[in-house]
Amino acid sequence: MRELLQRSIVTMALIVLTALLIITMRSVALAKTRAEAGAQSANAAPKAENAPAGNAKNGKAIYTTAGCYECHGREAQGGAGTGPKLGPDPIPFAAFVFQVRTPRDQMPPYTAKVLSDAQMADIYAFVQSQPQPPKADSIPLLK
């Protein structure tokens, strides 16, 4: 009887330990998943380097025909009171797409019907390819 009791205790202990182990492992996995999800959420869009390969030359042409320059300037430098600077160093591609498709504030929306994803990638490549400007201190008129 006593041996039976001891076996039961051992069995119960093993079950509890196994359960604890499973719970711990699942918690770790869950925590990892959440952490990854959190990280992804923090970067709501992929990094610029994750943008689909676009053609900057085509992008320049589309940037003009699609009228981006009307508000953002022909070199994507931004326009006073009309639109912010787009490049170089654009916002992440997914955020770029989100803004173009479903813009905040005043920007008119560009749906896929008038601007395809591929064209958007080309435009993104164009604004990304803009050269870094000279330092303000290197321009005599801006000193």
Partner 1 sequence: MKKSKKTLVDRRKFLKGAAVGGVATLVASTGVVNAQQSLVARSAPAVPPIPRPEADPSTDVSVLTADRTGSDFMVDVIKTLGFEYVAANPGSSFRALHESLVNYGGNKNPEFITCCHEESSVALAQGYSAVAGKPMMVMAHSTVGLQHASMGIYNAWAGKAPVYIVLGNTVDAAERRPGVEWDHSAQDAAAMVRDFTKWDDVPASLPHFAESAVRAYRIATTPPREPVVLVADSTLQESPIPTNASFHIPKLVLDTAPQGDSGSVMEAAKLLVAAENPVVIAGHVVRSQASMQQFIEFAEALQVPVIDQGGNLPSRHPLNQSLGGRGLIPNADVIIGLDVEDFWGALHNYRDQLHRSSQALTRGNVKLITITSRDLYLKSNYQDFERFQDVDVAMAADAEVTLPALTEAIKKLSTDDRKRVFQDRGTKLAAARQKAVERARVDATYGWDASPISPARLSAEVWNAVKNEDWAGGLNGAEWNYEKYYQRTRLSSAAGVGFAAPSAVGAALAQRKNGRLYVHQQNDGDLMYAPGVLWTAAHHRIPMLWVMHNNRAYHQEVMHIQRMANRHQRGIENAGIGTTILDPNIDYAKLAQSMGWYAEGPITDPKDLGPALKKAVDVVKRGQPALLDTVTQPR
Binding site for partner 1 (CB under 8 A): 65-67, 69-71, 73-75, 77-82, 85, 105-106, 108-111, 113-114, 133-136, 139, 141-142
Q: In whole angstroms, what separates CA 8 from the centre of its chain?
A: 55
Nearer to partner 1, 41 or 138 (CB): 138
- The answer to whether 49 and 93 are in contact (CB under 8 A) is no
CB of 16 to partner 1, least distance (A): 55
Those residues whose C-beta lies under 8 Å from the C-beta of residue 83, and which sit 6 or more positions away, are 71, 72, 73, 107
Cβ-based neighbour number of residue 77 at 10 Å:
16
How far is residue 78's CA from residue 74's CA, in Å, rounded to a whole number?
9
CB of 115 to partner 1, least distance (A): 8
Nearer to partner 1, 4 or 141 (CB): 141
Nearer to partner 1, 69 or 124 (CB): 69
CB of 97 to partner 1, least distance (A): 15
Helix (H, G, I), strand (E, B) or coil at 79: strand
Residue 75 identity: E
CB of 143 to partner 1, least distance (A): 9
Nearer to partner 1, 36 or 89 (CB): 89
